[in-house]
């Protein structure tokens, strides 16, 4: 097969099965590649040229986005997908453009969405009472902060979580397995929630409104989706009087910065977050390096005193 549609299908199957990419990643790569093929009006891998890629980049840069034009990071996602596809073709000795000819757009340093320690405490204490919903939401917030889980990882958890242990394994991006740890408050919150829940549905976090609504309800309790968790976190942030945007990923940021501010080393935080590259973890250092502040205070400006 040498037509691009067939090769794209093979590539998407390859990254899903052999590379362990998630369904969402595969869907995104499919969309990015289709966009390039359509814009370039190309049907054969041997017909792909640098000129096509350059014109595609111009097209992306002029595409509308939330800030007027498409973000550089989003543009790069398209190019990363195309480069991965070209590498796939090269491995199979299919003639096409050299993937090394594709350079990514330069982007500025990543800005972190952070909340203060006081705001975090208000958020964690926002679920009030002992209703099933309040217990569920308290357990979710405690687990997010205790483990640094991604929202998709949280939603994939099941009721069989062993609360007699202080840790458990989670399968994250790229099917990579890592160990995360439970704080005492997280274990208690989850235990209180499960005790109140009383059904045998598989998922740990579910839509409470459906429990007991069907005769054979244990098979019908729906798992909460990442979007649902995002809405829940947003609602509690509003109730807690936090004006900035708060998402489950912001809590993950708080997990990482809390560890670093209290002396954890970067490699350990990388492992706890499940980052493939320490470069990804290094984004946190510029907001947590208290040592540099202490050095500045101790040694700067002494000749002027």
Please say if 32 is a catalytic residue. Answer: no
Please say if 150 is a catalytic residue. Answer: yes
Please give the Cα distance from 66 to 254 (Å, whole number): 26
Please give the Cα distance from 145 to 256 (Å, whole number): 9
Beta bridge partners, 177, equal 171
Please say if 214 is a catalytic residue. Answer: no
Please say if 213 is a catalytic residue. Answer: no
For the chain, report the end-to-end CA distance as a whole number of angstroms: 76
- Dihedral angle at the C-alpha atoms of 259, 150, 16, 156, nearest 10 degrees? 130
Q: Which of 283, 285, 290 is CA-nearest to residue 109?
A: 283
Please say if 291 is a catalytic residue. Answer: no
Which of the residues 173, 178, 196, 223 is marked catalytic?
A: 173
List Cα–Cα distances, 257 to 87, 114, 187, 269, 290, in angstroms. Answer: 36, 9, 22, 9, 11
Which of the residues 8, 83, 252, 253 is marked catalytic?
A: 252
Please say if 249 is a catalytic residue. Answer: yes
Which of the residues 8, 136, 138, 150 is marked catalytic?
A: 150
Q: Which residues belong to the active site? A: 150, 173, 249, 252, 275, 284
């Amino acid at each position: 097969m040498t037509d691009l549609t067939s090769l794209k299908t093979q590539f998407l199957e390859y990254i899903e099965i052999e590379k362990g990419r998630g369904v969402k990643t595969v869907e995104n790569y499919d969309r990015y590649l289709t966009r390039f093929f359509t814009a370039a009006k190309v049907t054969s891998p041997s017909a792909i040229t640098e000129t096509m890629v350059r014109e595609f980049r111009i097209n992306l840069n002029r595409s509308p986005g939330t800030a007027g034009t498409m973000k550089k990071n989003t543009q790069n996602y398209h190019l990363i997908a195309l480069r991965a596809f070209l590498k796939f073709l090269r491995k199979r000795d299919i003639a096409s453009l050299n993937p090394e000819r594709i350079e990514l757009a330069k982007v500025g340093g990543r800005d972190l969405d952070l909340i203060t320690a006081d705001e975090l405490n208000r958020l964690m204490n926002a679920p009030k009472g002992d209703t099933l919903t309040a217990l569920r939401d308290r357990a979710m917030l405690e687990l997010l902060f205790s483990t640094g889980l991604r929202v998709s990882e949280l939603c994939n958890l099941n009721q069989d979580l062993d609360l007699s242990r202080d840790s458990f394994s989670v399968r994250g991006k790229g099917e990579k397995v890592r160990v995360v740890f439970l704080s005492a408050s997280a274990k208690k919150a989850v235990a209180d929630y499960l005790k109140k829940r009383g059904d045998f549905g598989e998922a740990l976090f579910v839509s409470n409104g459906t429990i007991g609504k069907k005769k054979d309800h244990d098979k019908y309790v729906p798992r909460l989706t990442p979007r649902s968790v995002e809405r829940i976190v947003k609602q509690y942030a509003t109730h807690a009087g936090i004006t900035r945007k708060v998402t489950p990923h912001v809590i993950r940021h708080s997990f990482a910065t809390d560890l670093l501010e209290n002396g954890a080393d970067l490699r350990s935080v990388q492992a706890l977050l499940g980052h493939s590259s320490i470069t990804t973890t290094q984004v946190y250092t510029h907001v947590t390096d208290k040592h540099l502040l202490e050095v500045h205070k101790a040694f700067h400006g002494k000749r002027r005193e």
